[in-house]
Amino acid sequence: DTAVSQTPKYLVTQMGNDKSIKCEQNLGHDTMYWYKQDSKKFLKIMFSYNNKELIINETVPNRFSPKSPDKAHLNLHINSLELGDSAVYFCASSQGTTLAKNIQYFGAGTRLSVL
Amino acid sequence: LAKTTQPISMDSYEGQEVNITCSHNNIATNDYITWYQQFPSQGPRFIIQGYKTKVTNEVASLFIPADRKSSTLSLPRVSLSDTAVYYCLVGDMGFSARQLTFGSGTQLTVLP
């Protein structure tokens, strides 16, 4: 069983469209994350939820809206897609937020290409 | 902010020991050091975490000098499958975006 799964794996879309990426974890973790990785492999935190509550919201355009319907799911909706949104988006989860519990488990990533 | 600096890339040959050093000159007293490994087309994977001196697990060793301003990830007898990007993170026992800054990592290429 895949611990952290994201769908879709690839997403190709036109500028201006709205799209969603889904993430699910079956590890029983309390904390989930969204990261963006650019072409230079720079991996940057976007959002983090703990027990369905938003705890980290980095400087991200408000076109990006995370939603956590329950602890096992964290979805990312992106409105009005722009060329600069092209990247690989990773979902991750951890047991919690304290040091002993914040080792993260990552999904395989969603490669978004905006044309 | 405990900024980290790593080499952009390193090459090695199969069977050699590889040491990747991470500089973190303004590491705080409560900060821990964590390393992740990322293979192509996969998400990062936790390797090892430490606070001081030496930590060893089945995958790697982590050496941290007394001043803790740097740390060295040591991979014994690498194989081709160790080709990956290695990230060094520094963070405290709290929780903030600061300790989730992965940076660009070190691309390790293992040659036959």
Name the domain count of chain A: 1
A45 lies in which domain range?
A: 4-97+105-114
The pLDDT value given to residue A60: 82
Q: Residue A24: which CATH number?
A: 2.60.40.10
Omega before A8 within 30 of 0, i.e. cis: yes
B104 lies in which domain range?
A: 9-111
Residue B83's nearest CA partner among B16, B5, B30, B29 is: B16
The pLDDT value given to residue A12: 97
Residue B1, domain member (yes or no): no
Contact B101 A44 (CB under 8 A): yes
What DSSP line would sit under A60-100, residue for residue? --TTEEEEEEETTEEEEEE-S--GGG-EEEEEEEES-SSGG
> Which helix H or strand E contains A68, and what residues bound it?
strand A64-70
The pLDDT value given to residue A102: 80
Single-letter code of the amino acid located at A73: H
Name the domain count of chain B: 1
Q: Residue B101: which CATH number?
A: 2.60.40.10
A contact test, residue of B89, B93, B95, B106 with most A CBs within 10 A: B95
Single-letter code of the amino acid located at A28: G
Residue B21, domain member (yes or no): yes
Residue A25 to residue A27: CA distance in whole angstroms: 6
Chain B segment 45-104 residues within 8 A of A by beta carbon are: 45-46, 49, 85, 87, 91-93, 95-97, 99-104
Q: Which residue of A has its CA nearest to B106?
A: A41
| B100 confidence band (pLDDT: 50, 70, 90) | confident
Residue B87, domain member (yes or no): yes
The pLDDT value given to residue B101: 75
The minimum CA-CA distance between A62 and chain B, rounded to whole Å, is 18
Q: Which residue of B has its CA nearest to A103?
A: B46
Contacts A–B by Cβ distance under 8 A: 63
A42, A98, A108 member nearest B103 (Cβ): A42
Compute the average pLDDT of residues B48-74. 95
Q: Which residues of chain A have pLDDT under 70?
A: 1, 99-100
